[in-house]
Amino acid sequence: HPVNGLLVVDYKAQNIRQEATASALKLGALGLLVIAAVCLGIWFALVRLVITPLNAVEKATKALSQGLFDTQVPVRGNDEIARLGSSFNRMSDQLRQSLQQLRQSEHFLQALIDAIPDGIRVIDPDFRILKANAAYCAQVGQPMDQVVGSMCYASSHGRDTQCPYTMVRCPVVELCHQNGDQMTAQDKHIGIDGNELYVEVSSARVDMVVDGKAVACVVESIRNLDEQAKISQQQRLSEIGLLAAGVAHEIYNPLSSIDLGLTALQSDLEANEAAKTLEYFETIRTEIQNCIKITDSLLLLSAPAGNVQNLIALDEVVPETLSLLRFEAEQTGVTITHDIPNRSRILGSDSDIRMLVINLAMNAIHAMPDGGNLHVTTRREGGDIVLEVSDQGVGIAPQDLSSIFMPFWSRRADASTGRGLGLSIVRAILDRNNAKIEVESTLGKGSTFSVHFPDADHEVQDGNA
C-alpha cells in the first residue's frame, strides 16, 4: 500500500483536561455523597437498632441498681439486641419476684416474732441489735427503727459502753466470744423513761449470714417478770386461799360459842333464869359480830383493786387484816402485836393496802420458823405515814437485799415452798399507791419493812393552807 499523503490533525488538549478534571470532581463528589448517605444510613440504623436499645438497657440497669425492680425495656424484633432486652426483662421479673418473696418472708418472720409475748432481739458479736420484736420495743419504750441498729447495752441498760461482763453475765460475751451454747439469767433493764424492769433473759447462740459472712449471733428471749407479778383477781383469790384454814378457825370459835350459848339459853329458859339468859344473848351477839368482822375483812381483801383512791384508816384496816393471820401465826409460835395510833389515814385502794399488809405479815411469819414476835406500828414522819412491819426472824443477807423484790425470788427460812411473788406484789402495790419502802435487816435478829405513804391529813392541811 503506497503512502498517498499525510493528514495532520491539530487540537487543543486544555479543554479536554478541564472536562476530565470536572468529570472526576463530579464523580468524586457524587461518591462522597453516596458514602455520606451510606454512613448516615448506617448511623441511623445503629442509633435505632443498637444505640437506642442499648441506652434503654443502660437506663434500666441503673434503675434496677436503685431498687426499681419493675423496670422493663422495650423489645423490638428478634435480633441479638432484642434477645438481650428480653433476657434483661426476665432477669428483672425474677429479681422482683425474689425480692417480693424475700419481703414476704421477712414480713412473715417479723409478724411471727411480734406475736411472741416475750421480748425478742438478735445481737451480733459487736453488740449491735440486728432484729427485735414489738414486745421488746414496748419493754424499753423505743420505736423499732431506733432499736434495730443500736447497741444492746444502750437499748436495754442505758449505757454508753458495754456492760462490765466481770460483774454481770453478758450473753454476747459468754455465747459469742467464749463459744457458749445457751444460758438463762435474771437481769434489770432500764427503759427510756428511766424505770427499772426486772427480766429473765434466755439466750442461745445461732450462726447467721450477715453481709455474706457467717457470724455467730445471740438470740435473746426476754420475759418481763414485772408483768407476771402484777396482781390479778385470780392471784388475789390464790393468796386468800392460803388464809382459808385460819379464817375457818377464826369463824369456828365464835360459832362454837354461839352454839354453847344457845344450849345454855335453852336450859335457862326451861329453868326460868332470866338474868343468865341476858348474859348469853350478849355473848351470842358479840361472837356474831366477830364473825361479821372476819367475813367483811375477807371480802374487802378479795375485792379487785380499783383506780379510785379512798380514805383509809390504818388503825381499822391493819388490825382487821392481821386478824386473818392469827391462826397461822399461832401454829408457828408467832405472836402478832400492833400499835396503830388513831387518825393514821392515807389515800389509796383499800384492797391493795390489805393485800400489802397480808404479804408483809406472811413474809415475817415465814422468817420466824421457831416463833417470835411480829409487831406492826405506824408513825408520822414529815408529811408521811410510816407503816412498819418488824419481825424477830432469821434476817436477810446484805447481798440479797437488792433481790428480794424481784419476782419469783424466794428464800423462806421455814423451808416452805413459795412462789416468790409476795414482795414483788408489794412493790407493784406501792407503785400504784404512790408509796415507797425501806428495808433494814440484821442476820439472826430480824427485819423491819418501813412503808412510806403520803399522810392524807397532811395533804388536806397543805391544800387548805
Together in a domain, 389 and 426: yes
Boundary of a domain, candidates 112, 139, 160: 112
CA distance 265 to 272: 10
Together in a domain, 197 and 317: no
Of 176, 81, 194, the closest CA to residue 124 belongs to 176
DSSP 8-state class, residue 305: P
CA distance 424 to 438: 14
Range of the domain at 403: 233-464
Boundary of a domain, candidates 60, 84, 112: 112
Angle subtended at Cα 293 by Cα 375 and Cα 229, rounded to the nearest 5 degrees: 60
Is there a domain that residue 32 lies in? no
Q: What is the pLDDT of residue 9?
A: 63
Q: What is the pLDDT of residue 94?
A: 83
Q: What is the pTM of this model?
A: 0.48
Is there a domain that residue 22 lies in? no
pLDDT tens for the 465 residues of the chain, in order: 566 777 766 656 667 677 777 788 888 888 888 888 888 888 887 777 777 777 877 788 888 777 777 778 777 777 777 777 788 888 888 888 888 888 888 888 888 888 888 899 999 989 999 999 999 998 888 889 999 999 998 888 888 888 876 566 788 888 888 888 888 887 888 876 777 788 888 899 988 887 778 888 999 999 887 666 554 445 555 555 555 555 655 665 666 667 666 666 666 665 665 556 666 666 666 667 767 666 665 665 555 555 667 888 999 889 988 887 887 888 889 999 999 998 889 988 887 888 889 889 988 988 888 889 999 999 998 889 999 999 999 888 888 887 777 766 666 554 554 555 677 778 878 887 788 989 999 888 899 999 999 888 875 555 554
Tell me the pairing of strands 345-348 and 436-442. Answer: unpaired
Together in a domain, 275 and 320: yes
CA distance 131 to 219: 9
Place of cell 414483788: 424
71 Cβ contact partners less than 8 Å away, ≥ 6 residues apart:
60, 63, 64, 92
Q: What is the pLDDT of residue 87?
A: 83
We report the CATH number of the domain holding residue 147 as 3.30.450.20
Is there a domain that residue 459 lies in? yes
Together in a domain, 238 and 304: yes
Strand, coil or helix: 31: helix
Strand, coil or helix: 68: coil
Is there a domain that residue 441 lies in? yes
CB hemisphere CA count around 438 (13 angstroms): 7
Is there a domain that residue 417 lies in? yes
Together in a domain, 161 and 271: no
Is there a domain that residue 146 lies in? yes
Element (H, E) at 210: strand 196-210
Q: What is the pLDDT of residue 295?
A: 64
182 Cβ contact partners less than 8 Å away, ≥ 6 residues apart:
175, 202, 203, 204, 205
We report the CATH number of the domain holding residue 70 as 1.10.8
- What's the domain count of the chain? 3
CA distance 328 to 369: 12
Q: What is the pLDDT of residue 233?
A: 47
Together in a domain, 205 and 336: no
Boundary of a domain, candidates 93, 112, 131: 112
Is there a domain that residue 301 lies in? yes
DSSP 8-state class, residue 361: H
